[in-house]
Structure 1
């Protein structure tokens, strides 16, 4: 168990600091402070206007965080391009000199930086680059999952549609029901939270499906219900390859579709309209069943992000989407994951 301070300078908000928010909400480690000079003096709950993170202070810099006795500095945001901003370097070096390990999900690997590496060696601390892929290379073998296991994958209409959060909430609800379940991480934040998984956006394409297959098969041997974090979207102009590799490596028995209420285009690609929900659902089912026809894998429910809507508007949109798709729909953060776990259990018991 670590005592973590999270670096989220200038960006501590839901969308820009997904890693920070996910770790605060789900990690078993203790978050003792968040660094963001633009929100210093508030606590996490005040800054995010939410009901978690109450009492976790936001401080100006690493020096103000040290009295809270952290032993780990975690980089909680991902600047565009995934590089280390020059203005952050002194904070990392100060943390290292104070004997703190550094955990990073950047595309830039801290352990490849000579200055940081030498400082870490001098002070006996670890630089953990979560996105560094294993050296092992595996091509998919198309091996069936253990009979009696159930693999559920989150897919979605875009990036940042709540795929990790949905799977964490589903797995937690399944465990509360006494099911033998596990969450499988496929991105840096999920790995930081769970301590397992693969950074699939850093695996060479030829080996992506194989590495995912090997990981999922291992989980299926140990657990009856395996909830796999999704990545990207099949209809995304930039990130569809990683989604397809994940679909074919996981070969899910069922899927949950994740969507932001009211979204009409890919975020950042305003000339890339979203297909209709039924069409996007069909795209994902078809892509899995190219390889999985006998299992006839289906999307069995929809996880909807409604944080920008009032509660009445959220209920109305949930009802509209249920009518449009014929699938149970819920915002798992606002209204709980039970409707989706019910749908999954119905599907496998049918």
Structure 2
């Protein structure tokens, strides 16, 4: 039996890639020939090529919500991207294109629509990003993580399924995580992550607060590419890493508390793992405000604490970390009572219907 081709697309941040990877791993490799379309230099290329999945790079512009001369150039980059994507799709002849968002996906879904190829979209955030606002016009079906997000899409296309959680995250070993991190005492482990691109303000506050934090915690600090402070590498009980991939299940299994940005995929993963969390969302000055809305939704449901970046000082940070520790047991109980949906199984089933 010949395999059917499916094309995944999504990029710009790890949050637009890891859910695709989670779905790809659950598809029957005997039935599906999986390909990926992304940008020439985005993080998606690095993550996908590690999986030995055929990767097709296309031209892509950046979708900006502000006036900039680069917007003019990007019109041409997107147009070229549509042409690039059409050539890839005409060659592969996929049964379906699955898009996770990010500016690279717009040319792909436009090309797919022009070739009458069905398009599935998954929106992680509480409100749609600009890429998915554009792409929804070309979509066959739209899936969302948040109930609230469904209100932003056509009713006849949308379905709430939750967030695709990587199944390997549930198989981590705390003992292996502690050994890999070289953490050997009984202090609880606090994992701090600013997303795949890092977070400058969070990094600064963590390092300012390090002497006080180390009295109570062993600390995993995922600080983003190029953001490791080599002067702190010999600190006991403090492990700096740019990014964690293969060892992440073990690191999270060993983790007692999490401090994170408000990216949807990450916070849904911590919810599924019952990790008490403090969310420091990207401010509106740095984003469209999606992380703030994600964080507020989780706080309302009792899954997290929220600290606005504009309020972040060493004193506030240390006080809130202490409060996180105090609220952890209540938070974990609320997380265990949360309604569970198996987004991966639902999405794989919907994909199978297209075969």
TM tier, smaller: 0.3 to 0.5
TM-score by length of 2: 0.37
